[in-house]
Structure 1
Amino acid sequence: MIGQGLAELMIAFGGEKKIVGLAYLDKSYSKYEKQIRQLSVLTDMWPSKEAILELQPDLIISMSSAFQKERLGDISFWNERGISVLTGINYTIGRTIDGFFEDIENIGEALHIENKTNAFVTEKKARIKEIQNKAVQAKNKPKVLLVASGGRETYDYYSPSLCVIDEMIEGSSGGDIQISEETYAEMSVESILAVNPDKIIITEFQKSDSEAAKNKGLLNPSLRNVTAIKNKHVMVADYTNAIRGSLELVDLYEDVAKFVHPELYKGE
């Protein structure tokens, strides 16, 4: 098992006893931290081929980026040795909510626990549909800017191909601001002023100081004329969940919907 996010999925669906080795932990907060540390962790980084072969696994579950020459080599290397490979879909450009659910379904099929994984996916998709049905009642479509913050004076822009939260903004009847043809770009204060969003969502790693991240924008005098700042319409979302999804993906979807159109959720 290579990748903390994929390990979390296996643990959530009761498949941790099948994990003979774990590698490449992203060091972000995990509610499964205790279970992860009870597993055989080969390394926090990319494991060697020799370390994996010594475990004699039947299956390697990993992000696709692992299978490069300088890391684990081609998938064919493992197949030739009788070891199957399952790669995560939502770890490359082109991330989608459906891709996240497909990763769960693929793990369920590989581990023969489809009853658990399919039930989870069905329930979460139904909740998303409820959110979308409520969102169509909205009478306006506020402009929403999504940025990532690393504690610097600038922000990072991620295109829709790099994160799933854009789908949440769109599904919540928000106007997702796209500022660049590039997949990733650094945003200055001037570029935020130029697009003048009605609302801003800042992504930060879970368990970081979300209030500090929010206040960084709200208290920045250079941004005082931005509509979102003037109206204090700033939200902080967990980075991992916003970028590639997590088991709390639908909870974030609902939080985004309430942030974009709070008037639709009055009394709830």
Structure 2
Amino acid sequence: MTTGIRSLSLPRRLRLPLPLLLASVLLASGCGGSAGEKSGDAEGPAVKGFPVTVSNCGVKTTYERPPRRAVSLNQHATEVMLALGLEKSVIGTGYLDDAVLPAYRPAYDKIKVLAKEYPSYEALLAAEPDFVYGGFASTFDEKEGRSRDTFTKAGINTRLNGESCASGAVTMSMVDKEIRDVAKVFGVPERAERQVKALHTTLDGVDGRLDGVDPVKLFVYDSGDKTAFTAGGTGIGNAMIERAGATNLFADVDKAFGDVSFEQVADRAPDVILIYDYGDQTVEQKKKFLLTNPALRDVPAIKNERFAVLPLSSTVLGVRVPAAVESLARQLHPERFR
């Protein structure tokens, strides 16, 4: 079984004269650097615009040339790659939470799915990638043998979506940065600028429609029956809620997600409940649970049965964010979109 790490053929090495062999070893040991530098040196001449250096979640990497055998894991990471037209550089993918956006489906269908969820480290090595891009921190789970350091030691560069390591609140500008950083790694900065311009056109359109609107009080219901798992104040979800003309009632939770009691929800009296659609529970099942929860019976959103819905795949840092902001704004302020 291949391990994904190409080694020199021993018989060929033994045919070298001993002095030349020693010189080769010394030369190789003196050419250290990042994983990208090592793989780049072995693959041919310099590429225009390279080398480039990118810092990501505490890992600084220099790329001598664009990755040629990338693996993308998690929905939002995969869709960033596809939005940038990088499917020919992607040799494997895995772990979707939702159907790929229709515009990207033809490109996605040409990429090998390595696993329904996360491939094992051994399976990833067998695919022989030179770059692994993960959407969530769980992509690089050290306990599963997939730490970023482990990949680096194997000569494989990595990237983690910026939301997973943000210090402080995630802002809309981080969507731009994520797209631009990935494009920089692959040497296609002009594609990033086209994407960013299109995404801001959508956001600017929403801003124009909502000018002067009174924000509605909103509670996010992700999941939970004993307590409610909700959106806190540091994730991209909070920024999206604000941009869509609402106030996140649990923005004071100092993390992207957190548990709150249903009594706390009742005390804050949301006008609208935003349901994140994913997993085994359907939206209708979640609505029924909320509507019949005694703790919530006096909540305005429950009395008026006022709900909004977004797929979970649209509430993480990626190319879906602007369209999701528009969708939420239409649900919260339909009078502004007639």
Matched with 1:104 is 179
Q: CA deviation at 1:204?
A: 1.5
Deviates more, 1:209-218 or 1:110-119: 209-218
Greater alpha carbon shift after TM alignment, 194-203 vs 104-113: 104-113
Tell me, in whole angstroms, the C-alpha distance in 2 between the residues paired with 1:254 and 1:52: 37
Change in CA separation of 1:239 and 1:108 when aligned onto 2, cut-off 3 Å: same
Q: Compared with structure 1, are the counterparts of its residues 73 and 256 closer, same or farther at alpha carbon in structure 2 (3 Å cutoff)?
A: closer
Aligned-residue offset at 1:77: 4.2
TM-score in terms of structure 2 length: 0.65
On the 8 A contact 1:97/1:164 being kept in 2, the answer is yes
TM-score for both structures, normalised by structure 1: 0.79
Count matched residues: 261
- The whole-number CA distance in structure 1 between the counterparts of 2:149 and 2:319 is 31
* Corresponding position of 2:88: 17
Which of residues 131, 140, 145 is equivalent to 1:59? 131
- How far apart, CA to CA, are the structure 2 residues paired with 1:207 and 1:123? 34
> Residues 92 and 117 from structure 1, CA distance in 2 versus in 1: closer, same or farther, beyond 3 angstroms?
same
Q: Identity percentage over the alignment?
A: 21
Amino acid at match of 1:22: T
Deviation of the 1:235 alpha carbon: 0.9
Unaligned runs of 5+ in 1: none
- Secondary structure in 2 matching 1:202: strand
Which residue is equivalent to 2:211? 136
Partner of 2:333 in structure 1? 261
1:157 & 1:64 partners in 2: Cα distance?
A: 18
Letter in 2 for 1:115: E
The C-alpha deviation readout for 1:34-62, integer Å capped at 9, x for no partner, is 76565333333444444333433332222
2:239 to 167, 170, 188: 167
Q: Which runs of 5+ in 2 are unaligned?
A: 1-70
Whether 1:3 and 2:73 are equivalent positions in the alignment is yes
Aligned-partner Cα distance in 1 for 2:79–2:215: 35
Q: Distance in 2 between matches of 1:167 and 1:179?
A: 10
Deviations 1:119-146 (A, max 9, x none): 11112123212322432312x3322112
Distance 1:114 1:176 in 2: 34
- Residue identity opposite 1:136 in structure 2: D
Helix, strand or coil at the partner of 1:257: helix
Cα RMSD of the aligned pairs, angstroms, is 3.2
